[in-house]
Structure formats: structure tokens, C-alpha cells
């Protein structure tokens, strides 16, 4: 159930790096996602004017949509975290959508990519809490009444660690499951367009999972910023 033909692996073989590219396709394809996003960003901001042209218009819709959503949910302070949240959304969205192109490997279908994004969100949540509340951040883990603090501390610590696991497995499981189902259907009867309905579902799953990852990160940031119970 491996991808039979990957463009970038063949390209890297021309330079003699074929072993690296075929052992770590998720790293190589995440470089491709980064390149595509950087090139689009450069193109969108090249001739910036008050009356936007076509590419700039598309990106203004995307950026303003994300910004309004963040400010609507967190408040004005949320504007500070727009870069990291929008980057997470665009990177995960593009990484998921790569799975639908033939010859491309989605970097999010290997467990390392979602795990890295989830760890960044986890560290950022605690940095935000410490920045906004200082040492008083520990009150978030104490609970409502002071004499239940030890129990609440353990429960909150386990809950916070479970956030990393749940973010990772939600994204990885959806992408890996999609790839497995496509692989099985191809081996059953691929020449009769059997996998097409699954790929249609795959578009929906890719967009929804990127949005859910982004929205959960935003709510974790918002929970670290607000006052304790």
C-alpha cells in the first residue's frame, strides 16, 4: 500500500539523494508545501495597491476571513496570535490537499508532521499563560476550591498532555485512514474509477480537519489567556 510513484523522489534521485527522499517522503513534501506557500505569499504582496488585483484579492479574502474569525472568538488581543494560527491552518490545509494529487505524498499522513504541529501549539499555550499571568498561571490548574487542588492538578496535567495526543491522532488518523482506504480500493478495482467517491470525501475531510486543528489551537490559546475559574 505504498505510493508507487512520487515526483519529488524521482527528482531527488537525479541529484543522488534518492535514498534520503525515499526514506523520508514526508520531510521532502513538507519542504514543497513550504515552498508553495512562500511563493504564493510573495506573489500576493508583490504589487500591493489599495485597489487589489486578482491574486492579492484572493489572499485578502483568506487573511481577513481568518483574522475576523480569530478576533470574533478571542477578542482584540487575539490579533497578536494571528500569524501562528494562520500558518498552522494554511500548512495543514495544503498538506492535506496534497494527498489528492497523483504522484504527491501528503506530509500530514506520517505521524511526525501532526505531532510537530501539536507540540508547537502545546508549548505556545503555556508560554502565553506564563506571559499573561506570570506565576499565577498555576491557578489555572488548581480548580475551583483550594482543598481539591492536588486532585485537580493531576487531572489538569493529564488533560493538557492528552491535548497533544488528541490533536496529533485526529489529524494523523484522518489522513492515514483516507490513504489506506484509497490504497485498498485501488488494489480492488482502481481502473473502474472506484476510488472517486472516497476522494470527494477526502476533499471535505482535508478542509474540515485543517479547520478543526486551527480552531482547537485558537481555543487553547484563548483558554490560557482568560482568567482562572
Partner 1 sequence: MEALQFFIASVTAAGFGIAIAAFGCGIGQGMGLKAAVEGVARNPESSAKVTVTMLIGLAMIESLCIYALVVSLILIYAHPQAAAIAELFAK
Q: Which residues bind partner 1 (CB under 8 A)?
A: 166, 169-170, 172-174, 176-177, 180, 208-209, 211-212, 215
Could you say which DSSP state residue 143 is in?
-
Residue 52 or residue 173: which is nearer to partner 1 going by CB?
173
Q: How far is the CB of 205 from partner 1 (least distance, A)?
A: 9
Q: How far is the CB of 181 from partner 1 (least distance, A)?
A: 10
Residue 78 or residue 143: which is nearer to partner 1 going by CB?
78
Contact 71, 79 (CB under 8 A): yes
Distance between CA atoms of residues 126 and 224, nearest Å: 7
Using CA atoms of 45, 46, 47, 48 in order, give the dihedral in degrees to the nearest 10: 20
Q: How far is the CB of 211 from partner 1 (least distance, A)?
A: 8
Q: Give the position of cell 487573511.
A: 63
Residue 160 or residue 170: which is nearer to partner 1 going by CB?
170
Q: How far is the CB of 84 from partner 1 (least distance, A)?
A: 20
Q: How far is the CB of 59 from partner 1 (least distance, A)?
A: 22
Provide CB contacts within 8 A for 90, sequence distance 6+. Answer: 37, 62
Burial of 98 (0-12, 13-18, 19+ CB in 10 A): buried
Alpha-helical runs (H) found in the chain: 7-14, 18-23, 25-44, 54-74, 82-97, 112-133, 149-189, 196-225
Q: How far is the CB of 208 from partner 1 (least distance, A)?
A: 5
Residue 150 or residue 223: which is nearer to partner 1 going by CB?
223
Residue 40 or residue 169: which is nearer to partner 1 going by CB?
169
Residue 26 or residue 133: which is nearer to partner 1 going by CB?
26
Distance between CA atoms of residues 27 and 105, nearest Å: 10
Distance between CA atoms of residues 49 and 51, nearest Å: 5
Residue 176 or residue 194: which is nearer to partner 1 going by CB?
176
Distance between CA atoms of residues 15 and 42, nearest Å: 27
Q: How far is the CB of 54 from partner 1 (least distance, A)?
A: 26
Amino acid at each position: 500500500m505504498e505510493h508507487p510513484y512520487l515526483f519529488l523522489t524521482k527528482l531527488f534521485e537525479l541529484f543522488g539523494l534518492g535514498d534520503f527522499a525515499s526514506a523520508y517522503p514526508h520531510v521532502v513534501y513538507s519542504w514543497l508545501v513550504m515552498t508553495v506557500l512562500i511563493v504564493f505569499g510573495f506573489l500576493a504582496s508583490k504589487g500591493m495597491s489599495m485597489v487589489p488585483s486578482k491574486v492579492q484579492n484572493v489572499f485578502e479574502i483568506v487573511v481577513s476571513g481568518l483574522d475576523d474569525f480569530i478576533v470574533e472568538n478571542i477578542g482584540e488581543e487575539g490579533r497578536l496570535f494571528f500569524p501562528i494560527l494562520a500558518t498552522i491552518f494554511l500548512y495543514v490545509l495544503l498538506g492535506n490537499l496534497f494527498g489528492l494529487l497523483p504522484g504527491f505524498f501528503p506530509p500530514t499522513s506520517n505521524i511526525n508532521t501532526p505531532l510537530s504541529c501539536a507540540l508547537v501549539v502545546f508549548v505556545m499555550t503555556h508560554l502565553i499563560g506564563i506571559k499573561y499571568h506570570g506565576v499565577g498561571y498555576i491557578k489555572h490548574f488548581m480548580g475551583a476550591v483550594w482543598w481539591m487542588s492536588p486532585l485537580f492538578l493531576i487531572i489538569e496535567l493529564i488533560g493538557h498532555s492528552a491535548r497533544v495526543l488528541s490533536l496529533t491522532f485526529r489529524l494523523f488518523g484522518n489522513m492515514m485512514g483516507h490513504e489506506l482506504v484509497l490504497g485498498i480500493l485501488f488494489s480492488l478495482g482502481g481502473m473502474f474509477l472506484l476510488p472517486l467517491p472516497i476522494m470527494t470525501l477526502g476533499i471535505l475531510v482535508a478542509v474540515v480537519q485543517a479547520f478543526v486543528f486551527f480552531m482547537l489551537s485558537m481555543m487553547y490559546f484563548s483558554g490560557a489567556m482568560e482568567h482562572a475559574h
